[in-house]
């Protein structure tokens, strides 16, 4: 199979992860895709390919020459932000101008709103029908890795030893939770989980979650004066005390943010849930400290125990683990050039499995897959870019 055929096959599997599930993987269909990947891997000569009890897929490709053992990793799940059920992809030879995704629903991609279209004129774009996401994040990475390996095995020639890993539940932050770093046996690795062609990422956000709980006093509104404490009103006051300019809709590049992700409550109890992000570790810690200071202020005003904050770190910026082994980044940069790309190092405004794995002893920068507009109905990927990513991965494997 070529990379396009593989990709179209994989997006037919509904593998959305579910953060409310306690199982691993969080949804059973991820194992269905994993089992299919194992069958394909064995068919192309990866004899030790297997699916473990937690839904992780592993396999190894012996080298023909001595060299570092390199891991290639992608994730099988898709984001829960938009439906991944019954994906209907189609390929459009894009000639410029507006691109109609769904005429009946009046879903149109216009270059003014989606500037990535301008650099993809003349290419064959795989798009959705506007009712689901596409799943290029990260089934493109899976397809590109397996196509590269199949071609390497068919072509022969020199190659270093490879380790292949496909993870579940990356989109809900659990992809590295049960990854067997020691058993994987790689000296370093790459996640094929990026977007725009040529992007090379070895910096990501430091990340934490914050749960802020509010305790009020419920009194009949007719006799509430100087007695009622409305937990929802406390929550509103807390939120408005956080800097407006540090919301994600006002930030870009290396700028961090705090984002209210969801909330619930009534007069007696209310809860706000946030995510906190920053590339700079000191600024990251300052953002968390602001949450605690704001709660202390409100507790002084309304009484001890009115506001409580629970903070939990999720992952850290892999840069500090990559800087001592920059040869890993240079190898990827040279592979991109050899494949015809112009490499551009960009910070990830998010996280990848590679961030967690880097802190577990497996340095793991992130590579482009060619996809655009991930996690939504305007997602697309150029066939030509996937093919170029396959060439990049093959060059990485060459000594």
Rounded to whole angstroms, the Cα distance separating 212 from 274 reads 8
List residues bridging with 70 in a β-sheet. Answer: 162, 188
Query: What are the structure tokens assigned to 338, written together?
Result: 């050899």
What is the full DSSP assignment across 17-84? --TT--SSSSSTHHHHHHHHHHHHHHHTT-TT-EE-TTS-EEEEE--SS----EEEEEE--B-TTS--
DSSP 110: -
Q: Is 170 assigned a catalytic role?
A: yes
Rounded to whole angstroms, the Cα distance separating 48 from 212 reads 47
Query: What are the structure tokens assigned to 140, written together?
Result: 């493109």
List residues bridging with 149 in a β-sheet. Answer: none
List residues bridging with 214 in a β-sheet. Answer: 270, 307
Torsion sign over Cα 169, 171, 172, 174: positive
Q: Give the CA count within 13 Å in the CB-facing half-sphere of 363.
A: 19
Cα distances from 202 to residues 34, 254, 317, 332, in angstroms, run 27, 13, 8, 11
DSSP 225: T
SS3 (DSSP) at 135? coil
Rounded to whole angstroms, the Cα distance separating 109 from 128 reads 12
Q: Which of 137, 150, 170, 379 is catalytic?
A: 170
How many C-beta atoms surround the C-beta of residue 252 within 10 A?
9
Any idea which residue has 């419920």 for tokens? 218
Strand-pair category, 188-192 with 366-367:
parallel
**Does an H or E element contain 259, and which?**
strand 257-265
Q: Which of 77, 199, 203, 372 is catalytic?
A: 77
Q: Is 384 assigned a catalytic role?
A: no
- Say if residue 347 is exposed, middle or buried (CB neighbours under 10 Å; 0-12, 13-18, 19+): middle
Catalytic residue list: 77, 170
């Amino acid at each position: 199979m070529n990379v396009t055929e593989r990709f179209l096959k994989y997006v037919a599997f509904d593998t959305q992860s579910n953060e409310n599930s306690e199982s691993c993987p969080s949804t059973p269909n991820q194992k269905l895709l994993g089992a299919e990947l194992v069958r394909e891997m064995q068919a192309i000569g990866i004899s030790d390919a297997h699916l473990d009890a937690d839904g992780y897929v592993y396999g190894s490709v012996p080298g023909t020459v001595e060299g570092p053992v390199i891991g290639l990793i992608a994730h099988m799940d898709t984001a829960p932000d938009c439906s991944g059920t019954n994906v209907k992809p189609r390929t459009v030879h894009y000639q410029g101008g507006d691109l109609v995704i769904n005429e009946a629903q009046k879903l149109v991609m216009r270059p003014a709103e989606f500037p990535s279209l301008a650099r993809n004129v003349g290419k064959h774009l795989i798009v959705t029908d506007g009712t689901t996401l596409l799943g290029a994040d990260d089934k493109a990475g899976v397809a590109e890795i397996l196509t590269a390996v199949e071609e390497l095995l068919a072509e022969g020639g020199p190659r270093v030893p490879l380790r292949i890993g496909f993870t579940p539940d990356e989109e809900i932050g659990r992809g590295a939770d049960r990854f067997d770093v020691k058993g994987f046996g790689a000296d370093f690795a790459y996640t094929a989980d990026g977007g725009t062609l040529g992007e090379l990422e070895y910096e990501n956000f430091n990340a934490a979650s914050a749960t802020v709980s509010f305790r009020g006093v419920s009194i009949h509104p007719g006799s509430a004066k100087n007695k009622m404490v409305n937990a929802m009103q406390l929550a509103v006051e807390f939120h408005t005390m956080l800097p407006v300019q540090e919301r994600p809709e006002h930030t870009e590049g290396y700028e961090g943010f705090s984002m209210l992700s969801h909330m619930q409550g009534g007069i007696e109890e209310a809860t706000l849930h946030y995510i906190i992000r920053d590339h700079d570790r000191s600024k990251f810690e300052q953002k968390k400290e602001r949450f605690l200071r704001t709660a202390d202020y409100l507790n002084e005003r309304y009484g001890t125990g009115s506001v409580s904050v629970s903070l939990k770190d999720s992952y850290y910026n892999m840069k500090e683990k990559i800087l001592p082994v920059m040869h890993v980044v240079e190898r990827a940069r040279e592979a991109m050039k050899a494949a015809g790309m112009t490499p551009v190092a960009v910070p990830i405004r998010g996280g990848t499995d590679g961030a967690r794995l880097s802190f577990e002893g497996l340095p793991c920068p992130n590579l482009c897959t060619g996809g655009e507009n991930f996690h939504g109905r305007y997602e697309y990927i150029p066939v030509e870019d996937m093919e170029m990513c396959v060439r990049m991965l093959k060059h990485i494997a060459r000594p």
